[in-house]
Amino acid sequence: MAIDAEQTKVTSDRIVESDQTDDVEMEMNQVADAGSQWLAILLFVSWWALLGLLDLMFPRAGSEILKPPVGAVRNSSGEGAASPVRTCGIVSRADPSFDEQHFLHGAASAYETILHAYAKGDIRTLRLLLSPEVTAAFETAIDERHRCGVEMDITFVCLKEALVTNADVAGTMAEISVRFVAQLISASHSASGALVDGDPHRIIETSDVWTFSRDLSQRNPQWRLVATDEDDRLKAAS
């Protein structure tokens, strides 16, 4: 009987030890699962931050609504006359890594980013995406708007078209012009909240031709906006 009691005690101790081991393993698994979840969240956030940066830098590639300045800088030839239309093939021959679809994806992202930065008066973002000459023109327009006490709001509805209209390479400098047709809502208000321009309840359609440039000899893959102009189709209609 004494032996049976002792055996029963040993068995009971082993069961307790087994239960404690299971509890420790369960706690370790919970800690590991929590760590994996946090790692997954951090990787997710880092991935989207990287995508945002790539879209911003795109390495792959009028007064009635207070639009950004138009015709503020030169074209590729430095003259007022339009140059002959060329396809992106001329850029691909100069830079075999160039991909037109990746470029257009980045240009479309830059178009929306620049419009929002202009409306907010975000000069820091504009300086990252514009040439010094275009930045100066945008800053002048923003300063004038602020001097008049006008705040601008833009809601980007959709981009209907992003089409290359011209491409050229002069030396190591590549330039590509893109016609953007977009729908947006634009409204400007005074400091008192009175509507100065636009309509916060009406979608308007805009059509602009923006020219982007990049030095192909540099490892920096960023394209910068070097010229803005109205769509020639709108000029012909006016």
Query: Across the chain, which distance is largest between two alpha carbons, in Å?
Result: 112
How far the first Cα of the chain sits from its last, in Å, is 112
Helix or strand run (H / E) with residue 216: none
DSSP-assigned letters across all residues of 97-126: T--HHHHHHHHHHHHHHHHHHHHHT-HHHH
Q: Which position has the token pair 């590639």?
A: 61
Q: Which long-range contacts (CB under 8 A, 24 or more apart) does 105-108 make?
A: 105/55, 105/58, 105/60, 105/61, 106/54, 106/55, 106/57, 106/58, 106/59, 106/60, 106/61, 106/223, 107/58, 107/162, 107/176, 107/178, 107/210, 107/212, 107/223, 108/159, 108/162, 108/180
pTM across the whole model: 0.66
pLDDT tens across the length of the chain (238 residues): 444 545 545 455 554 455 555 554 555 455 445 444 544 434 433 333 333 333 334 433 333 334 566 555 544 334 433 444 568 999 999 999 999 999 999 999 999 999 999 999 999 999 999 999 999 999 999 999 999 999 999 999 999 999 999 999 999 999 999 999 999 999 999 999 999 999 999 999 999 999 999 999 998 888 999 999 876 665 544 4
- The full set of domain ranges for the chain reads 1-57, 62-237
What is the CATH topology of the domain spanning 62-237?
Nuclear Transport Factor 2; Chain: A, (3.10.450)
